[in-house]
Structure 1
Amino acid sequence: MKRILSAVTASVVALAAAAHPSEGKVIRISTDNTDLILKVGSNGRLYQTYLGPKLLDDTELSLLDWAQHAGSDGSVSTRGWEAYSASGNEEFFEPALGVTHADGNATTYLYYVDSSVEQVAGGTHTTIRLRDDKYPFDVTLNYTAYPKENVIKTWSEISHNEKKSVTLSAYASAMLYFNEPEYYLTEFSSDWAKEAQMSSQKLQFGKKVIDTKLGSRAAMHTHPFFEIGLNGPVKEHSGEVLMGTLGWTGNFRFIFEVDNVGNLRVIPGINPYASNYELKANETFTTPEFIFTLSYDGTSQGSRNLHEWARKYSLKDGEGSRMTLLNNWENTAFDFDQEILAELMKEAKHLGVDMFLLDDGWFGNKYPRKDDHAGLGDWVVTHDKLPGGIAALVRSADEAGVKFGIWIEPEMVNPKSELYERHPDWVIEQPNRDTYYYRNQLVLDMSNPKVQDYVFGVVDNILTENPDVAYFKWDCNSPITNIYSPYNKDKQGQLYIDHVRGIYNVLKRVKEKYPNVPMMLCSGGGARCDYEALKYFTEFWCSDNTDPIERVYIQWGFSQFFPAKAMAAHVTSWNKNTSIKFRTDVASMCKLGFDIGLQELKADELAYCQEAIANWKRLQPAIMDGIQYRLVSPYDTNHAAIEYVDADRNMGVLFAYNLSPRFQEKLSRVKLEGLDPHKKYLVKEINLMPHTESTFAQNGKVFSGDYLMKVGLDVFSYTHNTSMVIEITAK
């Protein structure tokens, strides 16, 4: 045994001693605040040598050591933080890549080939090519750095030219390493009506895994983003924190592994569960983008980094305006006809919103959509309910003076539908087992090009026949059950991946043909919330839970990673124990909509809503496009406060909420952020109920930005479920 170990040690030392032509080459991926430094080792492989605050002296980059471990005999070994480690080599911990080559060999060693840098919109793109020395197998690492926003996105491209297909059993988007005394994870658990619930834990030795296996509606139980506190718990306003999110609408997996000497590796990517991927020669497997920021001033700054990046470079129409709307679902559910909808469009105009959105229940004839048991998949209007078709609805909206939008769920089908009768082979369903139905529906097999054509046709037919349709709400209410693809019978292990790729194929076609049509991403609430999907959607629906108290927590969680204009929030009748003012004020800190019948509102409540909508539209430069500051967390207190400031620091809005104050508890002033300390600001309470005077003691007064940020405002009270909205205007 000793002889064998000696032989292995000798070969490792010989490999390390053999100079590689690129040995010592440093690759720097930088923002204005952060450096990710990679270096080619003497063995020709690529290692991470640094990830942290930007280094000032370029000459010191070469001093960073790629060999992170000492051997048992005290010598330095060739093991280090490999930038993209593969299974089967001397790596002792979780790899990024698992490959079984065409000849059955399960080992892969990746060596540096070359790299290049080019300028792209907003930043620089670095490409690094790696290759196995025994097989024609390649991995290309991609890093795009956005200097001003302090955001880096990274992904990998895997390809080969072997004689037969290779099998991929793991295919991470990236690997990141940290060496800190301790690490704390904040994760975001979820379920229907309780999305983005934040919880934290300390990471100890071993692996913590966050993953999903649902295929579609994949983020139903956990969301594809996380926060890591480096050398301390995650904090809002201080401390170093890694904030990362994966752009993938299907199964994902995050691995956080603390090794034997206390180093942390973070491995984000597609979940390889039931997904061994047969990669053909000359085919490229492209992993999802992993987007991350390192903040040195807590999550508040990290969120602002991501918000600014998203509006500029990822969110569809991220720098455009957003429409307010009135939805009919909470008001009518499935019970409506053409005349009822025409009257609701007039209500939308009277309310002051920009658009009327028709929700579920407008389609199906042989199996009309009277509830959620039938009709899904048959995307033609129900004739006896809507005899004039969509065209008549568009005309009614135009006559009322509002835009018209419509709900669809094109990836799904009810077994009780004409589509299922015609094409049972288009459905993901087991051929030899009893079928399990989630919400009385099944998922269409989006890996099938014919199904992709059909789903694209749902949107295309509506817009071809009715070009004035101004908006789509695209829903997805079921995970994949009965996992089996009739289309790709011999490659069932690729279904979870190819299904999501099929969805993207459709969305790309929709965006290319109809680039200016806004769409809401919905999935039984907030079970779809990733930046790949949001390249095609202007916003996403955070939750079916519109109880304003719960929404404060839900919106707080999602705001960690998404700007306000990406988060749709509606005023509804959920929790009528709260006032219409409180419900509207909570929805107003996101993309505002209503889903309520005006007949439910008293005259003063309607007047209040009309004024609140007008205020929201006027303040869009701050709320939708400004800089967000989360000032008081509902997780830490019985109150919450969020502030928005426009780019010029001339306009701001403060939303303050009293949730469940204790009797005579201490009420602290809220210190604002982001203002110009040398400017004077008028502070004024808005969104007041008619015939109501403000109780805000500082209402109508002028303060310096310095005073507002150091002393603050008295906006909290002891009254449960109440709110205050303060407009801040530079004089």
Structure 2
Amino acid sequence: MKLFVSKFAIVCLTVVTISLNVKAQTIPVETKDHALVLRVSNDKHLDMVYFGGRLADKNEYTTIAKTYRMDDKTDEYNSAYTPAGSRNLLEPAIAVTHADGNKSLDLEYVDHKVTKVNDDVSLLTINLKDPVYDFQVTLNYQTYFDENVTEQWSVIKHHEKKDVVLNKYASANLYLQAGSYWLRNYHGDWAKEMRPEEEQLMHGIKTLDSKLGSRADLFQPPVFMVSLNKPASEDEGEVLYGNVEWSGNYRIDLEVDPANNLRLIAGINNYAGDYTLKPGVEFTTPKVVYTLSNKGKGEASRNLQSWARKYKIVDGEGSRLTLLNNWESTYFDFNEQKLAGILKDTKTLAVDLFLLDDGWFGNKYPRNDDHAGLGDWEENKIKLPDGIAFLTKTAKEDGVKFGIWVEPEMVNPKSELYEKHPDWIVKQPQRPEYYMRNQLVLDLSNPKVQEYVFSIVDKLFTQNPELAYIKWDCNSLMYNSYSAYEKNQGNFYTDYVRGLYHVLDRLRAKYPKVPMMLCSGGGGRVDYGALQYFTEYWPSDNTEPIERIFIQWEYSYFYPALASSNHVTDWGKQPIKFRTDVAMMGKLGFDIVVGKLKPEELAFCQGAVKTYKQYSEAIWHGDQFRLQSPWDNDVASVMYVDQAKGSAIMFNYLVNNRYATGSHLPILLKGLDPDKKYTVSELNLFPGTKSPIAEATYSGKYLMTVGINPDVREWRTSVLLGVNEVK
């Protein structure tokens, strides 16, 4: 059973409470291999003194501060949650304006407790308080012991006589000590997601952030890697991975301080976000998840992938549906008869579900292109005279499932919703409207809008009980941001995301396991704040297969394969085999005209679906190993190994088309049992072709030491190998 610790009350837990003690004390936060060590100083300030390998003897953590020669001056730099306006002169984690206008804040340790959620999960809460003002902060560190993963967040509250304004309110404040620091982060745009950059961090501040409001990941996703002492490789080096679990404006500050250590502060972006907090109300920041590895980037990614499947992504330990989407075959131009034909193609292709995309709604303003209809979620009577019910009924008769596209957070100016509720729309009342994809964003900080958005999806389910899948899209940024509902505009950006999560909480409470794809004009909203409500995400609208190899490669550092929706489309010049093989590295789907496939192409796709299902356990729930990077090699190679190390699948792709490129040397496999025997054979052969690779049996030791050459060439641009234990 999946554990949603973040959203439901924890009951029947073991709790250890440590009372206030003014003497210096050490508080270790441990996972299986690593420890983050906090220290309460003699003046009751909470510092972070260590983040590295876990020690066998916990008593030795008490000597760390002396070993690093940390003193009361240094704790201005390594504060566990750095306040502004008192002794600190560096970048703060929290800054406030008190009810009397004073901007200073000091936070002293009060007490802490450890709550044992289960054998794997523990929660450390530490209470801090200002000695002058009635202002408190609770720091939370939730550890996942076996996965070497920690989630961190803060809870802020006060009991001052009037409102307090939060000027900055980070979730996590980390302190790393090394000789040098190397940041790998990402940039992009539509169809250009997850472009990596790596640089050495020097003195000063490097800030990663978003100010887009919605679709917040469009230019820069909220993920990062920090390597210590040298850039980490796939299997060597110490590296920290992080992800801000927030689907709106975020901010990550990385500051090399005067003592040559790295301060990392992450959470909600306070840009245009001075948050007014009433007395007695708790402000809970989003979680920041991170993992530390001393065995390179591969181990760190497997830590996050395992954690996400077990604790974060909806039904992360379950199965996934293969599908056929109609978007690139029909766009907005369809009717019942055309869709009925595609439903039969779904069965012919041997996939599980048909997904009806954009264009099925709107009557006064029919959705025949992207200029009209958003917000008016009634079936278009011309296209679908018998409604969605006809399609779900037809799908059931054809032996497949039915899913549908929605974009409930958005509105076209050419819609009935826009005419009836202009106060529900994010826009400045005195400024001209500015559109992205001819649409505006609905104000989800408003409870009435939340109710409306919930009702859109709920109505689809209640009227169509056979509905089996939702694709949830979000195609616009926020321009001219203003809420007619909010009294304090500084609260809007934060309350918008909270409103979105409130809607999704309600939907998941009522429909806990219905598959839902997280889409946002491609990868504009891929983060673990949103993915706690979804079974999968759409990495990019760019489905050109060579591009997708690079995009999916980089996403895989932070997200598991079963969450990556990969569709076979007509983008690119590669043959259907290459396109299908690339899409199989995740959650497989098709967006093609099945009727236009040649007989041998259709036969190949049908066989590929069978192969995919045969190896789905390894792809969905196994360990991923990147063997050769597409950035550095002519051939990209990645493999997935099931948990029992009994079955694996190896994907190999030619990514350089220059003369005589290919796999000239064996590629070393990873993750197998060295003492087991494995049969290696080629998969997904196109009808009428023969493999030059003879089926043979090798030891796991041989495959990981000597390797195997998949024989990728210009006439064999995509090669899949199955690796199966000899029983």
TM-score, normalization by structure 1? 0.95
| 1:120 correspondence with 2:123 | no
Identity of aligned residues (%): 51
Q: CA deviation at 1:199?
A: 1.3
1:467 aligned partner, one-letter code: P
Residues 524 and 544 in structure 1, CA contact (< 8 A), matched pair in contact too: yes
Q: Which residue of 1 aligns with 2:664?
A: 667
In structure 2, distance between residues paired with 1:425 and 1:80: 46
Query: Are the counterparts in 2 of residues 660 and 721 from structure 1 also a CA contact under 8 Å?
Result: no
Structure 1, 710-719 or 396-405: larger mean CA deviation = 710-719
Tell me if the contact between 1:113 and 1:129 (Cα under 8 Å) persists in the aligned partners.
Answer: yes
Name the aligned partner's letter for residue 396 of structure 1.
Answer: T
Q: Corresponding residue for 2:557?
A: 560
Q: Distance in 2 between matches of 1:129 and 1:436?
A: 45
1:611-690 aligned at under 5 Å gives the runs: 611-664=607-660, 667-690=664-687
After the TM superposition, which residues 94-133 of structure 1 pair with which residues of structure 2 at under 5 Å, given as runs?
A: 94-121=91-118, 122-133=120-131
- Partner Cα distance (2:75, 2:417) in 1: 59
1:342 corresponds to which residue?
Answer: 340
Q: Deviations over 1:487-507 (max 9, x none)?
A: 11x311111100000000000
- Displacement of 1:67: 10
Deviations 1:564-621 (A, max 9, x none): 001100000001x200000000000110000001122111011000000111111111
- Amino acid in the other structure paired with 2:30: S
Match of 1:160 among 158, 161, 185: 158
Alpha carbons of structure 1 residues 66 and 399: separation in structure 2 relative to 1, 3 Å = farther
The CA distance in 2 between the partners of 1:257 and 1:171, in whole Å, is 17
Shift of 1:77: 6.4
The answer on whether the counterparts of 2:314 and 2:513 sit within 8 Å (CA) in structure 1 is no
Alignment CA distance shift 1:570-1:76 (3 Å)? closer
What is the distance in 1 between the residues matched to 2:352 and 2:323? Answer: 6
CA distance in 2, matches of 1:114, 1:96: 20
**Range 227-236 or range 549-558, more displaced:** 227-236
1:531 is aligned, of 520, 528, 531, to 528
Whether 2:49 is the aligned partner of 1:53: answer no
Q: Aligned match of 2:190 in 189, 192, 198?
A: 192
Encode CA deviations 1:399-452: one digit per residue, 9 max, x unaligned: 111000000000000000011111011000111111111110000000000000
Which amino acid in the other structure matches residue 193 of structure 2? E
Q: Which residue of 2 aligns with 1:445?
A: 443
Structure 1 moving runs of 4+ over 6 Å: 66-71
Q: Which residue of 2 aligns with 1:692?
A: 689
For the residues of structure 1 that align with 2:335 and 2:98, how far apart are their CA atoms? 60
Match of 2:263 among 262, 265, 284: 265
Q: Which residue of structure 2 aligns with residue 13 of structure 1? A: none
Deviation of the 1:69 alpha carbon: 7.4
Given that residues 68 and 79 in structure 1 are in contact (C-alpha distance below 8 angstroms), is that contact kept between their aligned partners in structure 2?
no
Q: Distance in 1 between matches of 2:169 and 2:76?
A: 21
Counterpart Cα distance in 2 of 1:66 and 1:248 = 37
Q: Determine the structure 2 residue equivalent to 1:574.
A: 571
Alpha-carbon displacement from aligned partner over 1:475-519 (angstroms, at most 9, x marks no partner): 00001112110111x311111100000000000000001112110
CA contact (8 A) 1:66 1:80 kept: no
CA contact (8 A) 1:86 1:96 kept: yes
Question: Where does residue 707 of structure 1 map in the other structure?
Answer: 702
CA–CA distance in 2 between the matches of 1:362 and 1:127? 49
Do structure 1's residue 727 and structure 2's residue 722 form an aligned pair? yes
1:512 aligns with 2:509: yes
Structure 1: distance between partners of 2:561 and 2:208 = 26
| Deviation at residue 190 of structure 1 after TM alignment | 1.8
Deviation (angstroms), 1:327:
0.1
1:550 matched to 2:541: no
2:252 to 234, 251, 254: 254
Query: Structure 1 residue 91: deviation in Å?
Result: 1.3
Secondary structure of 1:115's aligned partner: strand
Render the CA deviation track for 1:158-206: whole Å, top value 9, x for unaligned: 0000000111111111111112111110001121001111111111110
Residues 78 and 307 (structure 1 numbering): CA distance in 2 closer, same or farther, change over 3 Å? closer
Please state whether the residue corresponding to 1:676 is helix, strand or coil. Answer: coil
Q: Secondary structure at the match of 2:190?
A: coil
Match of 1:64, as an amino acid? I
The one-letter code sitting in structure 1 at the alignment partner of 2:701 is D
Summarize the alignment of residues 244-643 of structure 1 with structure 2, pairs less than 5 Å apart.
244-488=242-486, 490-575=487-572, 577-643=573-639
> Is contact 1:569–1:592 with CA below 8 Å preserved after alignment?
yes
Instruction: Provide, for residues 442-483 of structure 1, a one-character-per-residue CA deviation record: whole Å limited to 9, x for no partner.
Output: 000000000000000011111111111000000000011121
Partner of 2:5: none
Question: 1:243-277 CA distances to partner (integer Å, 9 max, x unpaired)?
Answer: 00010000011111011221111111111000000
8 Å contact from structure 2 (residues 77, 257) kept in 1? no
Distance 1:289 1:716, change over 3 A: farther
In structure 1, the partner of 2:37 is 37
Q: Distance in 2 between matches of 1:213 and 1:721?
A: 45
* Deviation for aligned residue 1:661: 4.8
Structure 2: 5+ residue stretches without partners: 1-19
Deviation of residue 23 (structure 1)?
2.2
Whether contact under 8 Å (2:652, 2:712) holds in the other structure is no
Give 1:717 deviation, angstroms.
Answer: 2.9
Alignment of 1:152-231 (within 5 A): 152-231=150-229
Alpha-carbon distance, 1:21 to partner:
3.4
Residue number in structure 2 paired with 1:79: 76
- The code of the aligned residue for 1:262 comes to N
- My pick for the range that moved more, 710-719 or 277-286, is 710-719
User: Mind listing any 5+ residue stretches in structure 1 that lack a counterpart?
Assistant: 1-19
Q: 1:583 to 1:76 in 2, by over 3 A?
A: closer
SS at 2:124 equivalent: strand
The 1:676/1:68 distance shift into structure 2, 3 A limit, reads: closer
Structure 1 residues 345 and 182: alpha-carbon distance in aligned structure 2, compared to 1, 3 A threshold: same
Q: Please say if residues 657 and 716 of structure 1, whose CA atoms lie closer than 8 Å, have aligned partners that are also in contact.
A: no
Code of the residue aligned with 1:402 in structure 2: it is V
Query: Closer, same or farther in 2 for the Cα pair 1:78/1:627, shift >3 Å?
Result: closer
1:90 positional shift: 1.3
Could you tell me whether the CA contact under 8 Å between 1:188 and 1:199 is conserved in 2?
Answer: yes
Counterpart of 1:21 in 2: which secondary structure?
coil
Give the C-alpha shift of residue 70 in structure 1: 7.8
Q: Which residue of 2 aligns with 1:5?
A: none
CA distance in 1, matches of 2:702, 2:654: 23
AA aligned to 2:569 is T
Q: Is the 8 A contact 1:43 1:78 kept in 2?
A: no
CA drift of 1:89 comes to: 1.5
SS at match of 1:416: coil
Q: Measure the CA separation in 2 of the matches of 1:718 and 1:630.
A: 20
Question: 2:293–2:299: 8 Å Cα contact kept in structure 1?
Answer: yes
Is the contact made by 2:77 and 2:90 (CA closer than 8 Å) also made in structure 1? Answer: no
- Corresponding pairs, count: 705
C-alpha separation in 2, matches of 1:465 and 1:124: 42
Give, in whole Å, the separation in 1 of the partners of 2:453 and 2:692: 53
Q: For residues 293 and 164 of structure 2, what CA distance do their matches in structure 1 show?
A: 39
Of 22-31 and 271-280, deviating more is: 22-31
Give the residue type in structure 1 aligned to 2:703: L
Partner Cα distance (1:78, 1:168) in 2: 23
Q: Determine if contact 2:166/2:275 at 8 Å carries over to the other structure.
A: yes
Matched residue of 1:158: which SS? Answer: strand
Query: How does 1:1-12 map onto structure 2 within 5 Å?
Result: none
AA aligned to 1:305 is N
Q: 1:68: Cα distance to partner?
A: 6.8
